[in-house]
Structure 1
């Protein structure tokens, strides 16, 4: 099994010719400059406790309305601004107070948090592949140096390794170009969840005090 130090050295060996794979080598599975947050908590975004069994306890029509709107809120291609009228219609039609809006937020949270976990697993897999490729390039460079220093020099092997290194570096660099967007995606999902929480709190119907 690779140690953290081994992977860090493999990546550092590319310094000066390839983009850095991580700002902090303490976690070789996380190549992003953004702080790694494994899991989000709905309690940090929603001000009141949410009944974990609340959604199942709703009548079928209300539950269907909640899950449908939650699915829309979780679609990143739909802007929250465009979904504002749907949220307002839902709140009015269901007389949705904080409790029901909390269930709507939890349903939205569950969908986006699942997407976020999948993306983070992909980032971690990506990081390990980049590390392996960095090690391959480093090993090929060492072998090419040895071929050139042999007596007589093995020019054919050196040429072959040079082509391999050039191709691997191109693959490495092409992958790195997408790193900024990929690493930003978990942060964007977190921001969307905070924005959804604020939208739903604002749209919640205030209960009428009993006399």
Structure 2
């Protein structure tokens, strides 16, 4: 059975780590588990200096070629160098309508990747809520173990079972917490790819 002092030290370490991971979160978003600021929408104005997108946003799905290309460009399994090649080919095939069609293409890429980022951010909120629920359950089990250890006379079998349950809970919590740094990179990766595609599309307009 884990000694009480060691168990309490482990609990403190795990919960301190969770607090550190969530320290900069916004007060209005208490479930957000990441160090990064919660930004669910892509900032199109920071990467796009081309024509207005209002009309293109309404009609990009009507062009099957553009729709298919939007899917390929948005998928992370398509390497950026291949995406740039596809954009250049599309620009060349668009002839005198190049600027208009590239604007429509960008509108599709923006909408699709913005939806993806929003879904990822919402998923991270759910992940944060799950971490909080796991931490609260561990706190409850910690208190149960303390109460059992303080009983006179103590019940060794009950203490053993409670300790084993808590150790399992803490291991599970720590495994999930270690994932935070990795999963929190997803919105930034989407934004980086979006920026690279925006630059490639605008360069193809020149």
TM-score normalised by the chain length of structure 1: 0.81
Residue matched to 2:129: 128
What corresponds to 1:36 in structure 2?
38
Structure 2 equivalent of residue 7 of structure 1: none
Counterpart-to-counterpart distance in 2, 1:196 and 1:120: 21
Contact map agreement 1:50 1:103 (CA 8 A) in 2? no
Partner of 2:5: none
Are the structure 2 counterparts of residues 76 and 150 from structure 1 closer, same or farther at C-alpha, using a change threshold of 3 Å? same
Kindly indicate whether the alpha-carbon contact (under 8 Å) linking 2:74 and 2:112 is maintained by their aligned counterparts in 1. yes
Instruction: Give TM-score scaled by structure 2 length.
Output: 0.83
Q: Is the 8 A contact 2:70 2:108 kept in 1?
A: yes
Residue in structure 2 matched with residue 17 of structure 1 by the alignment: 14
Partners of 2:140 and 2:12 in 1: CA distance = 15
- Is residue 69 of structure 1 aligned with residue 69 of structure 2? yes
Secondary structure, aligned partner of 1:76: coil
Paired residue secondary structure (1:187): helix
Secondary structure at 1:53's aligned position in 2?
A: helix
SS in 1 for 2:13: coil
Larger mean CA deviation between 96-105 and 117-126 belongs to 96-105
Which residue is equivalent to 1:6? none
Shift in Å, 1:186: 0.4
- State the aligned residue count: 191
**Structure 1 Cα separation of the partners of residues 58 and 64 of structure 2:** 10
Pairwise CA distance, 1:57:
5.3
Distance, in Å, in 2 between the alignment partners of 1:142 and 1:55 is: 55
Paired residue for 1:152?
153
User: Matches of 2:83 and 2:152 in 1, distance apart?
Assistant: 72
Instruction: Please give the alpha-carbon distance, in whole angstroms, between the structure 2 residues aligned to 1:143 and 1:124.
Output: 29
**Alpha-carbon offset, residue 157 of structure 1:** 2.2
**Mapped partners of 1:143, 1:51: distance in 2:** 59
Rounded Cα–Cα distance in structure 2 between residues aligned with 1:90 and 1:40: 24
2:54 counterpart (52, 55, 61) = 52
Conserved in 2, the CA contact under 8 Å of 1:42 and 1:106?
Answer: no
Instruction: Decide whether aligned partners of structure 1 residues 182 and 57 sit closer, same or farther in structure 2, where only a CA change above 3 A counts.
Output: closer
Gaps of 5+ in 1: 1-12, 207-211
Question: Following the alignment from structure 1 to structure 2, what is the Cα–Cα distance between the partners of residues 59 and 145?
Answer: 61
Structure with more helix by fraction: 2
Match of 1:171 in 2: 172
Unmatched tracts of structure 2, length 5 or more: 1-9
